[in-house]
Amino acid sequence: MRSEPRVSVIIPTYNCARFLPESVNSVLSQTLDDYEIIVVNDGSTDNTEEVLAPFRSRVIYINQINKGLPAALNIGLKAAKGELLTVLDADDLWEKDKLAEQVALFETIPDLGVCFTNFVLFGAEANYRTGFDERNGALIQYARKPIGMNTYLIRSQTLLCDMLSNQAFPKPSTVMFRRCCLEKVGFFDETLTFCQDTHMWLRIAKYYPFAYVDRCLVRRRIRGDSLATSQSDRRYTAEHIHMLETLEKWIPLSDNESKIANKLLSSYCFAVGYQDFSDGLRHASRLHLQKSLRTHFNLKTLAYLVMTFLPMELIKTLRVVKRQIAE
């Protein structure tokens, strides 16, 4: 007879006291009751401990100094006892049958690595589209096989390549994955800041199939001060450059996987180089453009690299000419 919980729910939190009770209650309201809740307080300075007090008999509480989201996730995962693992952002909410729907898929597909669900946005500036509608349904454009009512197995034999090409990834609060995935690919990369989940799904996609539930079982809160909505374009791009540069340190890449990853890396390096060039930072621009060319050759990138060596007055003249031609 199994004594450990079937599912471990990890809730990392940092200064989310005003949202945390509602999020915890959305787990306690699940129709499936074979789970544990692990709340990791990542050095919050608000009244997180106070609002969690009524739940302390129902949750495992871990308090640590602020180390960042990936570290908080890893602490929770290392404490988890369930065979199936899932993360709930401290400001998101689950529908009551979210866990039951996903567990059923894992029971149906013994070798399944990851299952994710559709979601709906709410809160500040939410447009209320479902997650599967975004970017013309990019998240579900992979070849698929129906498994049951609104449930699908992704049939791609090159899922890692497809994810790199498609650039569409499930959101953390929608995902459930097997413990064996961590044993194969390791924990979250703590050198990352906010795309550690993308990095993880890419690594798991190397070895395991994915499936999804086409129902909005998660309500994803959009707020102006959240980490996901407060990244500058430059920081966002720099983080993804680092993620791609370190990917092969975690998993071996085939020649084709490396080619696609390098092409994407090149595009991010060009984006930073172009921004630096536009800001007049020619030396910084030159370094990023050179890195872009080293990973994937592109004539447009080469043209901008050449321009970083030109006198500023000539560059200004060329920009005027370009605007005149465009008009």
Last residue of a domain, one of 182, 212, 229: 229
Q: Are residues 201 and 279 in the same domain?
A: no
Q: Are residues 69 and 173 in the same domain?
A: yes
In a domain, 224, yes or no: yes
- Produce one character per residue of 114-152: b if its CB has 16 or more CB atoms within 10 Å, e if not: bbbbbbbbebeeeeeeebbeeeeeebbebebeebeeebb
In a domain, 81, yes or no: yes
In a domain, 26, yes or no: yes
Q: How far is CA 97 from CA 25, 117, 131, 260, in A?
A: 13, 11, 18, 37
In a domain, 2, yes or no: no
Q: Within a 10 A sphere around the Cβ of 317, how many other Cβ atoms?
A: 12
Q: Are residues 33 and 162 in the same domain?
A: yes
Plot region of 167 (φ>0 → left; ψ -120 to 50 → alpha; else → beta)? left
Q: Please give the chain's pLDDT, 327 residues, in tens.
A: 457 999 999 999 999 999 999 999 999 999 999 999 999 999 999 999 999 999 999 999 999 999 999 999 999 999 999 999 999 999 999 999 999 999 999 999 999 999 999 999 987 665 657 889 888 888 888 889 999 899 999 998 899 999 999 988 999 999 999 999 999 999 999 999 989 999 999 999 999 999 999 999 999 998 765 555 444 678 889 999 999 999 999 999 999 999 999 999 999 999 999 999 888 888 999 999 999 999 999 999 998 899 888 887 777 777 777 777 766
Q: Return the pLDDT at 229.
A: 46
CB-based contacts of 108, cutoff 8 Å, min separation 6 = 147, 148, 151
Q: Are residues 204 and 93 in the same domain?
A: yes
Give the whole-angstrom CA distance, residue 77 versus residue 187.
8
Q: Which domain holds residue 280?
A: 254-326
Q: Return the pLDDT at 326.
A: 67
Q: How far is CA 25 from CA 29, 30, 58, 77, 96, in A?
A: 6, 9, 10, 20, 10
Give the whole-angstrom CA distance, residue 84 versus residue 71.
19
CATH number, domain of 136, equals 3.90.550.10
Give the whole-angstrom CA distance, residue 28 versus residue 46.
23
Give the whole-angstrom CA distance, residue 75 versus residue 260.
32
In a domain, 248, yes or no: no
In a domain, 244, yes or no: no
Number of domains composing the chain: 2
Q: Are residues 173 and 296 in the same domain?
A: no
Amino acid (one-letter) located at 210: F
Last residue of a domain, one of 167, 194, 229: 229
SS3 content of the chain, % helix, strand, coil (to 5): 50, 20, 30
Q: Are residues 150 and 290 in the same domain?
A: no
On whether the pTM is more than 0.75, the answer is: yes
Q: Are residues 223 and 265 in the same domain?
A: no
Query: Which one-letter DSSP state was computed for residue 55?
Result: G
Q: Return the pLDDT at 224.
A: 65
Q: Return the pLDDT at 245.
A: 94
In a domain, 282, yes or no: yes
Give the whole-angstrom CA distance, residue 125 versus residue 247.
33
Please report how many Cα atoms fall inside a 13 Å half-sphere around the Cα of residue 278, on the Cβ side. 7
